[in-house]
Structure 1
Amino acid sequence: MLAELLFTIAALQPRALAQSCPSLTASYPAPSVASGYEARLIAQGLTKPRGIIFDNKGNLLVVERGNGVSAFAVSGTGSCITLSEKKTVVGDGSLNHGIEITDDGKTLYVSSVETVFKYDYDSSSMTTKGQGKAIITGMTSNDLLTRTLLLSRKSKNKLVVSRGGNDNIDLSTVDINNGMSQIRIFDPTKDSQNYTAGTTLGWGLRNAVGVAENPKDGGVWSAENNADNIERDGFEIHENNPAEELNYHGKLDDSNNPLLGKNYGYPLCYGAWNITEIPSAGTLQIGQQFAIAENNATTQDSFCRNDRQAPRLVFQPHTSPLDLKFDGKGENLYVTLHGSWNRHDPVGYSVSVIKFGSDGQPTESSTSTKALSPIISNSNTSGCPGSCFRPAGLGWDRNGRLYMTSDSTGEIYVIVKAGGKALDDSRPAASAASSNSNALSGLLITVLACAFVWFL
């Protein structure tokens, strides 16, 4: 009888474990996941989720555009994740994208189109205390409304804030004092700072929504959403130009940073992607900048190459990179590609990875068109953007799992390696004892259930 009981337990255990794993079904075709990875849909019904981050207790905080900031308790192993105990952390409908938190879990930073707010936060109760303080103001614009936040882990008391322009091609941004299309550095311990009072890290950046700091060397990177509907010498070239860009800004703790305050081209210069479609391209190469001045743009190409900072990498136009997250070793940079809205053949709609070398730089050259390797993609982009997920924010939990928000569908996915293994094994994982305890508890429950049924 005991042998038969053990056989029954062995047969039923995989089924019991499978049934215990949360299962949600999307309204669109199942995503395509690259070999060696797993991706699971773990949350639905959110309101345009954008920025995402974990506090020091392992709780998940999400900016729901138009609602504010929500928090979830997280449980589960591998990709079998459950989000529960949803709480409203900040009920402010003006918040639309940016979020950061201190390592001790006591201070939360969030952004609206006009303001960066600072809140006292209690990670034990997933609540804020009192009213938020406006620490950065003066950022209102009519277009490109996100204000990405990056709290440096390598340089003390430095908060990086990225701000887009006021139009598709905003000619007012040729003035550095304008404050538009820039990334600036602030002291987050101070209140009521106007955006133009911050230190300019980089300008000439149309809409650098993705911003990240390499944990290996402190290098700061941004992902540029470039202009739409551009022309050159009277010819429309917008289908395959200009390229989206990955730009390097140096290190915040480097007092001699040669890239501090550099101009990256916009609104006069743009990165090239498809050279054959650019009139009078001459010797122009992929990744180099070209001009779009109304009169004889080719005469301005040398200005763009010599007087403006070139991108480190370029991506296919219209893919719309929105977030960047490095792994703990700085070897992989993960990118959300929100996807195109005005291209004949839809592109983007994926999470991809860029390989970095020991020198803190991408392994691909600046002229490469293959720097991005997709991990999770929409399997049928012909339905995009209306019937597919659109990746927006990324966030790491302490177990090395990567979470992705899809604002268009109100969803959250978790991404791990095959077999439920950590995508980033350099991050502090839950203790083996805890994992073993969970596994043992599951096995014990299965054994007791089987025994009960057997002896009925």
Structure 2
Amino acid sequence: MKLDTSLASSLMLAGSALGQVSKRYCDAASSICYSGWTGANGVTIGVALPNTTSPNFDTVLQVVSPIANGWVGFSWGGTMPYVPLTMGWVNKAANTVIYSSRMAFGLSMPQAYTGAEYTYLKGTGYNDTHWTLNVRCRGCSQWQDTEGKTVSLDSSNAASPFAHGLTNKAPIQPAKNTSVFNVHSTFGHWTLDLTQGKNVDFDKLVAANLIPDKPPATTSTSAPSSPTSSRTSTLSTSIVPSSTSGPIQTGVPRSCAGVSTFHSPILTANGWKAVKVAGNMVQPRGLVFDTAGRLLVIQNGLGITAHTIGNDGCFTSEKTVIAQRNLNHGIVLSQDGKTLYASSATQVYAWDYDTSTISVGNSSRIIISGMDNKGHVTRTLAFPPKHPTLLIVSHGSNDNFDYDAGNIKVGRSCIKAFDVTKTPTVGYNYASGGYQLGYGLRNGVGLAFDADGGLWEIENASDEIHRTIDGGSVDIHADNPADEINYIGDPSKENTKWYGYPTCYTIWAPDLIPDHKFAVGDQFVLTPNATFADATCNTKSVPAKLALQAHSAPLDAIFDKNYTNLYVTFHGSWNRNPSTGFKVVKVPFVKGANGFAPKSAIAQSNVTGYTDILRNPEVENCSTTQCFRPVSIAKDKFERMYITSDSGAEGELLMLGRA
């Protein structure tokens, strides 16, 4: 409904006094009192609760936002993944403001969440300057984390962590509370004193302000209600009959029967061809071929699905193998194909896998635990071809600048190896178990092995960086720092070398840093000083072997059969204007006296380092909800690459090969 201007103004005045500190305020229209916070962006967020010490209680959320904000999101746990999220935006079609119940299973589009029940309260609406969302939530004070453990708000906590995100772009379909939406342009973390939000007559006040109209229904994916529930499926949905166990044609077909066209157009380089093989997937991420030639895919927020491939390389049937929605990226099979490994943010699981029945055993085993559930929560798993008992696991940072990760013992922003034949009964602890394969690697999602068995890491560098120049802070983030290709080495040998993060970074655009003469590929620090200057990196940090365009967000890599090219997926930027990435590139490699290396010198990375083989035609307009967003690659015996995209618009999977 349209808000009365005086009502919205009074709410904003109540919130404006809060500043950056939590304070109690009361809504004169409803008499409900909140513990509230107001940010510099003009958004006020308040939480009200009953006068209780119970671990599970109803809450009331109030969001008051300037009308310019397309949406505002609130995190009930202070992080993005694995906590209830409440979104709000204006729905002009119904002349009101609507809520959207969400949960994210990684740093990706939050999915519809049915674990929380919402009811609108009076005062919800908008006017010419602001919009307000008032809702009661049942299920926002208690939820299950990535491991299935119960997490509860503490009503007596004087510094309970919360977070918000917002942008001025409206959701794609504002009339639907399940609409996709673009990534936030601003976000923040802060605390509330929940004791300030207690109301003695909470139930009576809520009852007096309930809106009898039924709120919009929230639909969900087919994921199970528990984030860690695991069950096998014996159902197989046939798409196209097939009498063969795998593809026999070596080319890329013109199209796949029953599969829609790409959600957004793509272009391929001369000599290359791409076809969409699946759509309407749930944020597809990691993938691997089993020994029968089927493709196993992690769908983030759903589980693992198996896809049988027909004569032409298109899918003929699919089956849910594991329904476990906390599996979010990493997947690999043992060399004999009999053990399936997959990861959540905090754990690596293993199942006995039967290729003939496309099923797993009744229960999983925990191989590794103790990984962080904040920040970069995707883990990459790999077995070195020459060392099939060593499970390689990469772990990213827990924030953009994770300063503790500079300590090798912390076990973040690093790669480690674990001998699966010696797994303890309770599994390894990531930080203390296994051995190091390099640290100071901010978020090395892509891992690849050359013909000598050497391990290569593809790294996402930091966002939003500033350089201290003449005592002032200068924004250089548009084209710095470079993403990186790093050489890790023999995975059977411990590597305790430091690769720079969170102190040393790689130059992509030297001209943006005028206080020093840099070249592409040089290392630099954000705040040079007498203790640690740019030149210090040259003696302490292992430099990258190749620099990649800043904010490309490389997520996977795989060599061709001759090891003359490394194919890398660029997932695409979220905080660069104009956008960049959203493509697959080819990095030429050569073998010299010292082993394999990129053909290009690092100083020429931006000239001869790599070429596009698949791209979006208008990359400057790409976003998290527009354009194909390449994630992971699996290569079949014909050198065709199957590549996932977890775009918020549609989860897709394509085949890319020679024309």
Q: Kindly provide the amino acid, as one letter, of the partner of residue 311 in structure 2.
A: G
SS of the residue corresponding to residue 261 of structure 1 reads strand
Match of 1:139 in 2: 371
Q: Kindly provide the amino acid, as one letter, of the partner of residue 268 in structure 1.
A: T
Q: Which has the higher contact order (CA 8 A, sep 6+)?
A: 1
Q: Deviations over 1:221-243 (max 9, x none)?
A: 01110000111111110001000
Separation in 2, partners of 1:70, 1:270: 38
* Contact 2:256–2:314, Cα closer than 8 Å, also in 1: no
Q: Kindly provide the amino acid, as one letter, of the partner of residue 439 in structure 2.
A: W
Separation in 1, partners of 2:299, 2:446: 18
Separation in 2, partners of 1:243, 1:138: 30
Q: Among the aligned pairs, what percent are the same residue?
A: 38
Q: CA deviation at 1:110?
A: 0.4
Q: How does 1:160-199 map to 2 (within 5 A)?
A: 160-189=392-421, 190-191=423-424, 192-196=427-431, 197-199=433-435
Match of 1:404 in 2: 643
Match of 2:295 in 1: 60
Q: Deviations over 1:420-456 (max 9, x none)?
A: xxxxxxxxxxxxxxxxxxxxxxxxxxxxxxxxxxxxx
Match of 2:656 in 1: 415
Q: Higher helix proportion, which one?
A: 1
Match of 1:91 in 2: 323
Match of 1:241 among 480, 484, 494: 480
Q: CA deviation at 1:164?
A: 0.6
Match of 1:324 among 539, 557, 560: 557
Length-normalised TM-score, structure 1: 0.83
Q: Kindly provide the amino acid, as one letter, of the partner of residue 460 in structure 2.
A: N
Q: Deviations over 1:113-164 (max 9, x none)?
A: 0001111101122111121110011002311011101111112411110001
Gaps spanning 5+ residues in structure 1: where? 1-16, 419-456
1:306 aligns with 2:562: no
Separation in 1, partners of 2:339, 2:396: 25
Q: 1:224 to 1:87 in 2, by over 3 A?
A: same
SS of the residue corresponding to residue 304 of structure 1 reads helix
1:376 aligns with 2:614: yes
Match of 2:586 in 1: 353
* Contact 2:644–2:652, Cα closer than 8 Å, also in 1: yes
Aligned residue pairs total 391
Match of 1:201 among 437, 443, 464: 437
Match of 1:291 in 2: 525
Q: 1:299 to 1:279 in 2, by over 3 A?
A: farther
Q: CA deviation at 1:299?
A: 5.5
SS of the residue corresponding to residue 356 of structure 1 reads strand
Q: Kindly provide the amino acid, as one letter, of the partner of residue 44 in structure 1.
A: G
Separation in 1, partners of 2:254, 2:579: 35
Match of 2:144 in 1: none
SS of the residue corresponding to residue 337 of structure 2 reads coil
Match of 1:424 in 2: none
Q: 1:178 to 1:154 in 2, by over 3 A?
A: same
Q: 1:125 to 1:243 in 2, by over 3 A?
A: same
Q: CA deviation at 1:24?
A: 2.8
Q: Which has the larger radius of gyration?
A: 2
Match of 1:10 in 2: none
1:342 aligns with 2:587: no
Separation in 1, partners of 2:331, 2:599: 29
SS of the residue corresponding to residue 177 of structure 1 reads helix
Gaps spanning 5+ residues in structure 2: where? 1-252
Match of 1:224 in 2: 459
Length-normalised TM-score, structure 2: 0.58
Match of 2:147 in 1: none
SS of the residue corresponding to residue 62 of structure 1 reads strand
Q: Which runs of 4+ in 1 moved over 2 A?
A: 17-24, 295-299
Q: CA deviation at 1:342?
A: 0.7
Separation in 1, partners of 2:255, 2:620: 33
Separation in 2, partners of 1:18, 1:175: 51
* Contact 2:582–2:615, Cα closer than 8 Å, also in 1: yes
* Contact 2:303–2:325, Cα closer than 8 Å, also in 1: yes
Q: 1:178 to 1:299 in 2, by over 3 A?
A: closer
Q: 1:19 to 1:72 in 2, by over 3 A?
A: closer
* Contact 1:56–1:103, Cα closer than 8 Å, also in 2: no
Q: Deviations over 1:199-235 (max 9, x none)?
A: 1101001101111111x11110011100001111111
